[in-house]
Every structure is written in structure tokens, then in C-alpha cells.
Structure 1
Amino acid sequence: MAKIGVFVGSVFGGAEDVAEEVAAKLNESGHLTQVYLDPELSDFVAYQQDMVLVISSTTGQGEIPDNLLPLFMALSDQFPLMPAMHYGVVALGDSSYGEDRYCGGGRQFDELLQQLQAKPLAPRLDVDACVNFDALEVVIPWLGGLLKKVA
């Protein structure tokens, strides 16, 4: 059983819906899971010996949603190295906005976690709303592969 924090960046609720379903699947698999919609640095750092999932939509010019941005900025500013942390990132986006903006919120978080020396359990999953109307169609199989590495 793993302790897993699910940190969500959402504007209109799509990423939140994905996170709730992911948390339910994790709990069904016997993991201790908590979803954070307005996370603080202390919430995130509490998982430095465990695992986090970041599920983020992308706003505007490829930016991190407002509810997740304070955590991103705090991590960037304080830069706590977390070499024992394992993580996964689900980036939700729309490729019609252009390659430099596509999945930018999740992409930025993935890059920051790598700089903080956290260990990815799976490559970042970029979900294109132009291709996958229901993000769970690709997120659930990705999660299955990730869970095999957690066990």
C-alpha cells in the first residue's frame, strides 16, 4: 500500500473529475489517497518519502491553473530537493492552441519535479482534448501501468 497525494490544477472542473476517478481507482487498489484542490507547500512536502500525482489542465498561454499556481511558485522559490519522492503527471490540454501551449500546465510541473530530483514512475501523460473527449479513456490505462510500478 502506498501513500499517494493527488494534486489538481483545474479551471472548469475537468481535471478535478479526472482526479476524483483516479483517486477512487487508487483507493480500490488498496492505496491511501488524498486529493488536494487548493494545495499548500506543506501538503506537497508531506509526500516527499511517498508518491504524488499531479493532474493539471492548462490555461491561457500554456499556464498552470490558478488553484495550483501557488504550490508551483512555492516549490520553485523554496526548491526543496525530494530525491525519495516518486511521481506521475497527467497533463490535460488542447493541441489546437499550438505546440508551445499544449499541456503547458502539466509540462511545467513535470519539469519542476525533475529539477527537484523526484523520480517519475511513468512518462508524463499528455491528454489532447481534440483526440480524447473523455480523458479517462487514456488516463485509466496509464494509471494501470503506473500502479504496476507502485506494487
Structure 2
Amino acid sequence: MKVAILSGSVYGTAEEVARHAKRLLEAAGFEAWHDPRVTLDGLLAFGPEALLVVTSTTGMGDLPDTFQPLYYALRDRLPNWRDRPGGVIALGDSSYGDTYCGGGELVRELLVELGMREVVPMLRLDGSETVDQETDAEPWIAEFIAALKA
């Protein structure tokens, strides 16, 4: 199965988590692909059968600037990915209250619009409570892998 991993990062942490997820997916036998600067055409050329999005949150619950062009391109063109599996890992800081992991929530809504099914509930990684978000994501990634194999 071809799994595209998309990432939106401000300080690089989401990209590190995405790269770690790629290694774990490849070790599990998937064709995993990650390009933090991908365009929609590049993503469509890969032809993902599943999607994993790792994104941080900025400002008032917004997506990072690096991810916004792809997000808006997906929202504008709405490729038909009905019933394809997907998942979201959201990075944030709970001290921001209502906007905590808001970027991840925006992506979840988009996946629904694309017709995708969330195979594991969104993971929220709290930057104010964790030092190693890659390691903290591993149990969730293992669940995601198991769900893709089921």
C-alpha cells in the first residue's frame, strides 16, 4: 500500500515526526513517501492509497505557512479519495486553550470532505508536556499501521 505522509511544521518538529513515521511504515512493509514541500500535483502523481498528515498549529489554531498551499489546493480541487484510510497527528501546546491542535482539526475536517475514513482517532501531542514527540507518537503509529493492514 502506498502511504503519503504530509507535514506542516514551524520549527521542524512535525517534519521529524513525519520522517519517523515514514521509517516505521517502511519497516512494516508499506511504500511510504514524505516530501515536506510537496505540491498537489506531486501528491497526485504519487497516487496515495492512504494518507497520514502530521501538522503543528500556529497563531490562533491555524496551519503552518508551509502547509497552507497544499491544504488550500486539496480543499479547492477535492480529489475523490472516498473510503481511503487516513490519519492525523496534531502537534500543539495545551496552554493555548481552545486553539490547541487547531491545525490538526482543520486537516481532519478536510479529510472528511475528501471522503476519507479516519482509521485511528487523531493523536494530539502536547509540546508543553513532552520532550520527544517522535517516541510519544510511536504507539499511535503502531495502531495506524495495524489499521492499514486490517
Deviation of 1:50 (Å)? 0.3
Q: Any unmatched runs of 5+ in structure 1?
A: none
- Which whole-Å CA distance do the structure 2 matches of 1:132 and 1:73 have between them? 30
Aligned positions of 1:1-151 closer than 5 A: 2-46=1-45, 50-99=49-98, 101-151=99-149
Q: What amino acid does structure 1 have at the position aligned with 2:147?
A: K
TM-score (norm: length of structure 1) = 0.91
- Which whole-Å CA distance do the structure 2 matches of 1:47 and 1:59 have between them? 28
Q: Deviations over 1:76-109 (max 9, x none)?
A: 122233204211100000011122x111111101
Q: What amino acid does structure 2 have at the position aligned with 1:53?
A: L
CA contact (8 A) 2:16 2:134 kept: no
When structure 1 is superposed on structure 2, of 114-123 and 38-47 the one drifting more is 38-47
Structure with the higher fraction of residues in helix conformation: 2
Runs of 4+ in 1 over 6 A off after TM superposition: none
CA contact (8 A) 1:50 1:84 kept: no
CA contact (8 A) 1:39 1:68 kept: no
Q: CA RMSD in A?
A: 1.5
Change (3 A) 1:61 1:105: same
Question: Secondary structure at the residue paired with 1:92?
Answer: strand
CA contact (8 A) 1:3 1:33 kept: yes
Number of aligned positions between the proteins = 149
Question: Secondary structure at the residue paired with 2:132?
Answer: coil
TM-score (norm: length of structure 2) = 0.92
Deviation of 1:41 (Å)? 1.2
